[in-house]
Structure 1
Amino acid sequence: MGDEPREVELDDDERRMLTRWAVACAERALPVFEAVAPADGRPREAVGQARAYALGERRTRRLRTAAWAATAAGREVGDPAAEAAARAAVAAAGMPYIHAIATPHQVRHVHGPALSLALAREAAAGGDPAVGEEEVRWAVDRAPAGLREVVRRFPAGDLGGRTRQSLLRRLVDAGLRD
């Protein structure tokens, strides 16, 4: 019984706040996708649907459908930077559905928009790690206090690993928990 994850408090206003931040991250990443696939509006539509939720609309099938379409756009684009940018849009569209369960998996969803932004812009800059780290700082600096409070309710879990993605995830998590 003690191994079961507990629930955390997470209300719709907090989901909207998380989504507003996720939208800001995704909007910053969108130009990376659109530089490679200017005619593909699926990631932008996902961000637009997430923004609508953040501004007070209900979660709808349109939001979920837009997220799935942006996922497909990322798979189809054939460019690592653009794929990461599409994942930022997917992360924004998925934020309204974050579960109030105290697991490391859920906090990884909160990291997703900033992590994908950093990976997209870093890859677009030829793999320059300074660019990815600057994007993490940009995202963390724009995180409202309430978002930091939400992140602290979730366990960090194992953020280890030697991949670039793991390093950036640790930077995002540390920045949001400070």
Structure 2
Amino acid sequence: MLNVSPRADAIELSQAELRDVTSFAATCARTALTLFEDEHPHDPRPREAIEAAEAFAAGGRRGAALRTTAWAAHRAAREATPPAARDAARAAAHAAGSAYLHPLADAHQVKHVLGAATHAARALELAGGDDRSVGEGEVVRAQREAPPGVRAVLSRLPPAPAGGGRVGELMRRLDWALRG
């Protein structure tokens, strides 16, 4: 079990759960990857972040490659246009970063669990002409595909935090659906 300290807000987090969360995040991020790659075909950073997440989820080491690719995908998101490509790159960054979920009962940690799914949903929604039904459909798909470890981890965390615009709204909807 991973644990950072004996603090009252610490939760237990198994390696299997961490791999489930990361696998889920990578799968969700991959649904929107082409939105980035179609606009930025020579920028491999989001793909590399998803591949690093997939490697960890499949049993690889939680090492520097995950952090490096996560930060690189975040930089790609800051540089990307249009907004759908930006959110697709953010989804990839969250996928690699999800391997670094902290074992703390903190609402911010929900963003590590669901950030890739909700940024991917928003990217697809934007690519669909800002059609909110597309994002809602992605929330339903993500809920259906979430492995048991994702639900188990969320059950030990407080609900998703307020704010965050449309991505935050999608996150709260997915969080509620996975807990329900």
Give TM-score scaled by structure 1 length.
Answer: 0.92
> Do the aligned residues in 2 keep the contact of 1:10 with 1:100 (CA within 8 Å)?
yes
Q: What's the offset of the Cα at 1:146?
A: 2.4
> Do the aligned residues in 2 keep the contact of 1:5 with 1:103 (CA within 8 Å)?
no
Q: 1:173 aligns with which of 153, 172, 175?
A: 175
> Do the aligned residues in 1 keep the contact of 2:94 with 2:115 (CA within 8 Å)?
yes
Q: Mapping of 1:1-178 within 5 angstroms?
A: 6-156=9-159, 158-159=161-162, 161=163, 163-178=165-180
Q: What's the offset of the Cα at 1:162?
A: 8.8
> Do the aligned residues in 2 keep the contact of 1:88 with 1:114 (CA within 8 Å)?
yes
Q: Which segments of 5 or more consecutive residues in structure 2 lack a partner in the other structure? A: 1-6
Report the aligned-residue RMSD: 1.5
Q: Which segments of 5 or more consecutive residues in structure 1 lack a partner in the other structure? A: none
CA–CA separation in structure 2 for the residues paired with 1:38 and 1:163: 28
CA–CA separation in structure 2 for the residues paired with 1:134 and 1:163: 18
CA–CA separation in structure 2 for the residues paired with 1:162 and 1:40: 27
> Do the aligned residues in 2 keep the contact of 1:118 with 1:135 (CA within 8 Å)?
yes
Shift in CA distance, 100/143, structure 1 to aligned 2, threshold 3 Å: same
Alignment coverage as a number of residue pairs = 174
**1:149-174 Cα distance to aligned partner (Å, 9 max, x none):** 11011011543x59323321221111
Q: What's the offset of the Cα at 1:138?
A: 0.9
CA–CA separation in structure 2 for the residues paired with 1:18 and 1:166: 18
Runs of 4+, deviation exceeding 4 Å: none
> Do the aligned residues in 2 keep the contact of 1:20 with 1:51 (CA within 8 Å)?
yes
Q: What's the offset of the Cα at 1:11?
A: 1.5
> Do the aligned residues in 1 keep the contact of 2:95 with 2:116 (CA within 8 Å)?
yes
Identical-residue share of aligned pairs (%): 47
Give TM-score scaled by structure 2 length.
Answer: 0.91
What amino acid is the match of 2:174?
A: V
